Chains A and B, each alone.
Chain A
Amino acid sequence: MHYGAVEALRGVSLEVPDGQVVALIGANGAGKTTTLRAISRMLRPSGGSVRFRGEGLGRLASHEVVARGLAHAPEGRGIFLNLTVRENLELGAYLRRDRDGIAADLARSFDLFPILRDRQGQVGGTLSGGEQQMLSVARALMSRPRLLLLDEPSLGLAPQVVERIFQVLAEVARGGVSLLLVEQNAHKALQIAHRAYVLETGQVVMQGTGRELLASPEVRKAYLGE
């Protein structure tokens, strides 16, 4: 993966088994977001391949990837600031045509994040940062993905909100959706992750189960501030 002449990722290889939570941690500029974008085809990698449920995604545009069950909740939330919460969620189900299923999933979003039910008529821009992040996650789930890519869901949020979001993510994963989670908050991410990769300057430098990495002295020193 290159940005112009700059090589951003080199030989990164990772795997998300069905129904598991995989975390990707690392410092700023390590290439975490780039990895996600390459997977969801928002960027064209200069080499390598992405396989999803037996199909190569190499030739697809990013909107076609969504149709195959891969949702991306982008960094900085990317919600529609001038549309209402409800419209945002409905757009998440943009590719679906099953009215009843969409209504059921809408109700489920409100159950996962009750605050969104109270805010459903409000436009996205009037929500707090935490509410926007909840909306972003709920919206990504509205496409009923098999794999959800999450880019820094805890960025800039109060600890309590982070707690709530991670609870929901763990719940979603138990429901059979695989998660690929990019996080700076390594502690939280490793707690819910089945598997994790540590990225440094565009390369995977360490990998293991969430628990292993949480216990590893290198990780504790570099990312957990001990």
Chain B
Amino acid sequence: MRAPGLALRSLLPFLLGLPALLALQGSLSDFWASVLITAGVNVILAVSLNVVNGFTGQFSIGHAGFMAVGAYTAAKITLAAAGWAPAGLPPRLADGAVFLLALLAGMVTAALAGLLVGMPSLRLRGDYLAIVTLGFNEIIRVIIENTAFLGRATGLSGLPRRTTFAWAWMGVIATVVMARRLLGSTHGRALLAIREDEVAAEAMGVDTTGYKVKAFVVSSAFAGLAGGLLVHLIQLCTPRTFTFVKSIEVVVMVVLGGLGSVTGSAVAAFGLTLALEGLREVQEYRMVAYSLLLIVLMLTRPTGLFGTREAWDWLPRLPWRRRPEEGA
């Protein structure tokens, strides 16, 4: 019973989510659609970074670098496939297939970049990862700015607009399902053990370096997905989108939501995106208000909005919800 039940529980969000998202999509104005897509991309970024910074207790500050790798890969593929219209296939379906392929390819290249960066740096403990990822972020930017194939500093323009509300939020569902399933698995336990005490985890037989690298690779892949989705919304892929500032923005979302809480980082990412939109009214004070918001939150809730807990931990215990002790 266990295996099919598990597969169903993982697939269910997608099966229910797609029609709901498509239905909602029809009723959104252009403005709200683009705000909500941006929010969705940020949720993907925050939740995936939480896998490394929250679950595993490492500190990566180069998420935008992996985003860039995924974004440029996806952009190159959709540009190359522009005007490709196989006979017998409706153009919308062909476009969708190309976009899906481009996003997946972006995830793969971002994951490879994650492996390349993670392998040497995750052997070390402490702050080294932060320094290496920060460096990687800058290296990627400099490489792009000096590569003609990638459009140098002006980037790639004329991308088709493919990211709809439904695409972006299907990505969100995929990311959240991945994070939740990971956390509930043996692998998740290993990651938590590493976060709590790396030496003790090693003494329990956890291959700490191996798990840190795996978590980092998975996290990078989803950063790549977010990158692919973002550039097909703004229809432009430039190195300026993926600077160190973007990485810090994601770190802020994760810390604000609570390191280790999936719903926390999702809510924080969503909320901060909307707050930034709302603050457009007061243009010049926007960043001041944003900073104040962060300072107040950190003073009042230093572990982030949710700590390591999830939103449903506050719900009354429903009869059909198993207690975690019995479940594990």
A interface residues (Cβ-Cβ under 8 A, vs B): 40, 42, 61-64, 66-67, 71-74, 78-83, 86-87, 90-92, 94-95, 121, 139-140, 143
Are A66 and B205 in contact, CB atoms less than 8 angstroms apart?
Answer: yes
Q: A61-B207, A90-B328 are in contact. Are A81 and B199 (CB under 8 A)?
A: no
**Which residues of B, 157-212, contact A by the 8 Å Cβ criterion?**
186, 189-190, 192-193, 196-197, 199-208
A95 CB contacts on chain B under 8 angstroms: 204-205
Contacts of B204 in A (CB 8 A): 63, 66, 91-92, 94-95, 139, 143
Apart from A61-B207, A67-B205, A79-B197, list 5 A-B contacts with CB within 8 A: A63-B208, A82-B196, A91-B189, A94-B189, A94-B206
**Contact (A94, B200) CB under 8 Å given A63-B207, A143-B205:** no
Complex CA distance for A78 and B201, rounded to whole angstroms: 9
Residues in A with CB closer than 8 Å to B206 are 63, 91, 94
Interface presence of B325 (CB below 8 A): yes
Interface size on B, residues (CB 8 A): 20
Tell me the bound Cα distance from A87 to B184 in angstroms. Answer: 13
The answer to whether B205 and A78 have CB atoms under 8 Å apart is no
- Cβ of B197: which chain A residues have Cβ within 8 Å of it? 78-81
**Are A80 and B196 within 8 A (Cβ)?**
yes
Given A83-B196, A86-B325, CB of A94 within 8 Å of CB of B205:
yes
A-B pairs, 10 with minimum CB distance: A66-B205, A78-B200, A80-B196, A95-B205, A63-B207, A94-B204, A72-B203, A63-B205, A62-B202, A91-B204
By beta carbon, the residue of chain A nearest B190 is A94
- Residues in B with CB closer than 8 Å to A71 are 203
Complex: chain B residue closest to A93, CB-CB: B204
Q: Which residues of B contact A (CB under 8 A)?
A: 186, 189-190, 192-193, 196-197, 199-208, 308, 325, 328
Contact partners of A86 in chain B: CB under 8 A: 325
Shortest Cβ gap from A180 to chain B (Å): 14
Shortest distance between the CB of A92 and any CB in chain B (Å)? 6
Q: Is the CB of B193 within 8 A of A78?
A: no
Closest B residue to A84 by beta carbon equals: B325
Structural contact, B192 and A74, CB atoms closer than 8 A:
no
A residues less than 8 Å from B201 (CB atoms): 91
Q: How far is the CA of A94 from the CA of B325 in the complex (A)?
A: 16
CB distance from A61 to the nearest CB of B (A): 7
How many Å lie between the Cα of A103 and that of B192 in the bound state?
Answer: 21
B193 touches A63 (CB 8 A): no
Distance between Cα atoms of A83 and B325 in the complex (Å): 13
B196 and A42 contacting across the interface, CB-CB below 8 Å: no
Q: Which residues of A contact B193 (CB under 8 A)?
A: 80, 83, 91, 94
Query: Which chain A positions have C-beta within 8 A of B207?
Result: 61, 63-64
Question: Would you call A74 and B205 a contact (CB within 8 A)?
Answer: no
**Please, how many angstroms separate the alpha-carbon atoms of A90 and B327 in the complex?**
13
**Residues on A with beta carbons closer than 8 Å to the beta carbon of B203:** 40, 42, 62, 66, 71-74, 78, 140
Give 15 pairs: A residue, B residue, CB < 8 Å, sorted on A: A42-B199, A42-B202, A42-B203, A61-B207, A62-B203, A66-B203, A66-B204, A66-B205, A67-B205, A74-B200, A78-B200, A80-B192, A80-B196, A94-B193, A139-B204
Contact partners of B208 in chain A: CB under 8 A = 63
Whole-angstrom distance between the alpha carbons of A73 and B199 in the complex? 11
Hey, which chain A residues are within 8 Å of B190, CB to CB?
A: 94
Closest chain A CB from B133 CB (angstroms): 24
For A139, the chain B residues whose CB sits under 8 A away are 204
B302 nearest CB across to chain A (Å): 15
Residues of B with C-beta under 8 A to A87: 189
CB atoms of A81 and B196 under 8 A apart: yes
B contact residues around A82 at 8 Å (CB): 196, 308
Please measure, in the bound complex, the distance between the C-alpha atom of A121 and the C-alpha atom of B325, giving whole angstroms: 9
